[in-house]
Homo-oligomer: A and B are copies of this chain.
Amino acid sequence: MTIKEVAEILKQHDNFEILTHNYPDGDCLGSGAALALALEKLGKRARVITTERAEKFSYLFENLSEGDFTAEYIVSVDVADEKLLGKYEDVYRGRINLCIDHHKSNVITADYKYVDPDSAAAGEIIFELLPELGVEPDKAIADCLYTAISTDTGCFRYTNTTSRTLRISAQLLDLGCDSAYINKVMFETKTKRRLALEREVLENMVFCADDKCAIIYTTKRMTDGLADDETEGIASIPRQIEGVKMGITVREKESDYKISVRTNGDVDACAFCRQFGGGGHAAAAGCSMKGSLGEVLERLKSAAEQTL
């Protein structure tokens, strides 16, 4: 389907629920909030469904009405798989009307699907949807979309960044988006506790596969008292080390381990994670594992030895 058809469908409905994925990031929250803002500009009602809204993302929702209403139309944004709806999986599985996403690995079931893997972020798709909806973007929408695009591209550093990404972002700057604030919050602010965590993580780093793979981990003890966004981004640490083709981050959660895999694209992170029931992109993917930390590390090490 075309982006024009996506817009036509949205125009025909009202009372939207916009689904985002669990462990929500800047792209799903920013894209979801921007779409909701656009729909509200058309006089419609829209609510963004989130498993959590970290404090640092609160500005995305400041200009939204949301509120209580019975949902008529369900749109998922940046969600590649129903499993990623987290605690909402059972509520929405089989009920998604429209899926808007940029993950090649998308396997969601929906009445209509618009998946564009050439978009660096779902935010790019929402930006291109606005003129089709007849919505003039304003600063609030620009802030949401800049958040979406900058976070999913590591502030234009990752290989998914295209000239279209930069041109759209230039337009967002011209619309007055507060890139200085957003960059500062998303990329330039570390708490002292976060710095202490980084130090401990570096001390425990494990190398394998002839140093082509580096694995770091955080335990519940290490991240106790830290907000989720304080532990974010450490997944990029191991991949940055010279000679490392695959960087793996293991984070102990309540009942399992969350694994993030980052590569420079030569090694398929998505394929690596799929063998453990996960997915994602070629350069950044994730999965979950149960067991002891020692077992999890051993499974990852032997899988890495096989892959590399």
Chain A contact residues, CB within 8 Å of chain B:
155-159, 161-164, 166-167, 169-171, 173-174, 179-180, 183-184, 187-192, 195, 198-199, 202-203, 236, 239-242, 264-265
Taking CB as reference atom, which chain B residue is nearest A158?
B183
In whole angstroms, how far apart are the Cα atoms of A195 and B198 in the complex?
11
Contact A162 B173 (CB under 8 A): yes
Contact A163 B157 (CB under 8 A): no
Contact A184 B264 (CB under 8 A): yes
In whole angstroms, how far apart are the Cα atoms of A158 and B179 in the complex?
9
The interface residues of chain B lying within 8 Å CB-to-CB of A236 are 188
The interface residues of chain B lying within 8 Å CB-to-CB of A179 are 159, 161
A-B contact pairs, 5 of them (CB 8 A): A156-B156, A158-B183, A159-B179, A190-B241, A191-B242
Contact B155 A166 (CB under 8 A): no
Q: For residue A285, give the distance in angstroms from its CB to the closest CB of chain B.
A: 17
Contact B189 A242 (CB under 8 A): yes
The interface residues of chain B lying within 8 Å CB-to-CB of A158 are 183
The interface residues of chain B lying within 8 Å CB-to-CB of A203 are 199
In whole angstroms, how far apart are the Cα atoms of A184 and B202 in the complex?
20
Taking CB as reference atom, which chain B residue is nearest A173?
B163
Contact A240 B188 (CB under 8 A): yes
Contact B192 A242 (CB under 8 A): yes
In whole angstroms, how far apart are the Cα atoms of A162 and B179 in the complex?
9
Residue in contact with A239 in the complex, picked from B166, B188, B198, CB distance below 8 Å: B188
Contact A195 B241 (CB under 8 A): yes
Q: For residue A268, give the distance in angstroms from its CB to the closest CB of chain B.
A: 16
Residue of A166, A191, A195 with highest tally of chain B CB at under 10 A:
A166
Taking CB as reference atom, which chain B residue is nearest A189?
B242
Contact A163 B159 (CB under 8 A): no
Contact A242 B190 (CB under 8 A): yes
Contact B171 A163 (CB under 8 A): yes
Contact B163 A174 (CB under 8 A): yes
**Closest CB pairs A-B (n = 7):** A166-B170, A163-B170, A163-B173, A159-B180, A166-B166, A156-B156, A167-B170
Q: For residue A297, give the distance in angstroms from its CB to the closest CB of chain B.
A: 20
